[in-house]
Amino acid sequence: MQIFLDLPQLKAGIAALRSDGGRIALVPTMGALHAGHMALVADARARADHVVVSIFVNPLQFGQNEDFSVYPRREATDIAMLQAAGVSIVWTPQVSLMYPEGFASNLHVAGVSEGLDGVWRPGHFDGVATVVAKLFNQVRPDVACFGEKDYQQLAVIRRMVADLDLGIEIVGVPTQRDVDGLALSSRNAYLDSDQRARAIALPEALVMTGEAILSGGDVASALLRAEQHLLEHGFHSVDYFALCDAESLTPLARLDRPARLLVAARIGGTRLIDNIAVNP
Ligand code: PAF
């Protein structure tokens, strides 16, 4: 496995991989890898001959009061995990390489990026789209894998790739969960043991609400009950609990097409997100 920190080296490494005519998969990450990321790598390996993983904590996607400076960084452990998983190249650029002085571009994907987390984290998806577009241009993969855990991110990237004719296959990999159902996330590390125990109310509320809607229950009342469930089980606020069109993420008042239930809620100082499919 090769580890690159500068662009000419990365380009040469990618060219060498390409010389055998094989397919290249990219798994973009911000490091602090867990089983969720390793599922992306395993999926990427099944779809391509060579896997490139980027590790870059992208400042553009963090708001002023968010956790950029304390976001977990565990590069040595990450690299050992990627080596064991059969990754060909790890790309770990510095912030100054990605955003040199004078960097002035911003990619905004209208519509799908503007509701849900787009309301609560202004500029977040512009930062995601901008860095992912850069990573795509640097690596030029045939296929790229993203977790369904960040479902809105996945929808934004799909839109961007279609709109800009990037010609990259985008794969959404199902969310990996702990045995009790909590979705794996690097931010789970912020939870103390009491908060961790209470956090399972999040997947519980999703499943409960999905079942209620599928059995014909009124969508608005089911969403309200879900918010109450979270507040009664230790979450102190709910940013949103919504049923949305699975592709455009426009809110739905009734289940009349493939949909997604999405939630963001706060426990202690930690904001957790999760989602499930709800198909009529
Ligand atoms: O999902 C993430 O870890 C990040 O948002 C991504 C896609 C690597 C872009 O920084």
Give me the CATH number covering residue 266.
Answer: 3.30.1300.10
Q: How many domains does the chain have?
A: 2
Band of the pLDDT at 11, cuts 50, 70, 90?
A: very high
Q: How confident is the model at residue 61 (pLDDT cuts 50, 70, 90)?
A: very high
Cα radius of gyration (the chain): 19
94 burial (CB, 10 Å; 0-12 / 13-18 / 19+) is: exposed
Give rounded-to-5 percent helix, strand, coil for the chain.
40, 20, 40
* Residue 178, domain member (yes or no): no
Average pLDDT over residues 140-163: 98
- Distance from residue 268's CA to the centre of ligand 1 (Å): 24
Asked whether residue 97 is assigned to any structural domain, the reply reads yes
Whether residues 229 and 120 share a domain: the answer is: no
Catalytic residue among 37, 50, 124, 229: 37
CATH number at residue 136: 3.40.50.620
Tell me, yes or no, whether 34 and 157 share the same domain. Answer: yes
Q: Ligand 1, residues 91, 95, 132: which to mutate, most atoms within 8 A of Cβ?
A: 132
Give the pLDDT score at 180: 97
Q: In this structure, which residue's CA is closest to atom 7 in ligand 1?
A: 28
Nearest to 141 by CA among 157, 125, 126, 121: 157
Q: Looking at the structure, do residues 157 and 65 belong to the same domain, yes or no?
A: yes
Based on the fold, state whether residues 128 and 37 are members of the same structural domain.
yes
CA 135 to ligand 1: nearest atom = 9
> What's this model's pTM, rounded to 2 decimal places?
0.97
Give long-range contacts, CB 8 A cutoff, 24+ apart: 249-255: 249/112, 249/115, 249/116, 249/152, 249/155, 250/115, 251/115, 252/219, 253/219, 253/220, 254/219, 255/213, 255/214, 255/219, 255/280
Does the residue 51 lie in any domain?
Answer: yes
Tens of pLDDT along 204-243?
Answer: 999 999 999 999 999 999 999 999 999 999 999 999 999 9
- Judge whether 42 lies within some domain: yes
For the CA of 54, the nearest atom of ligand 1: 8
Could you list the residue range(s) of the whole structural domain that residue 258 is in? 186-275
- Here the tokens at position 260 are 């997604």
Q: Cα–Cα–Cα angle for 110, 112, 116, nearest 5°?
A: 115
| Atom number of ligand 1 nearest to Cα 30 | 3
Query: Is residue 218 located within the same domain as residue 168?
Result: no
Task: Note if 229 is an active site residue.
Answer: no
- Residue 226 CB less than 6 A away from ligand 1: no
Q: How confident is the model at residue 42 (pLDDT cuts 50, 70, 90)?
A: very high
Residues 30 and 164 placed together within one structural domain of the fold? yes
What's the pLDDT at 12?
A: 98
Q: 229 with 158, same domain?
A: no
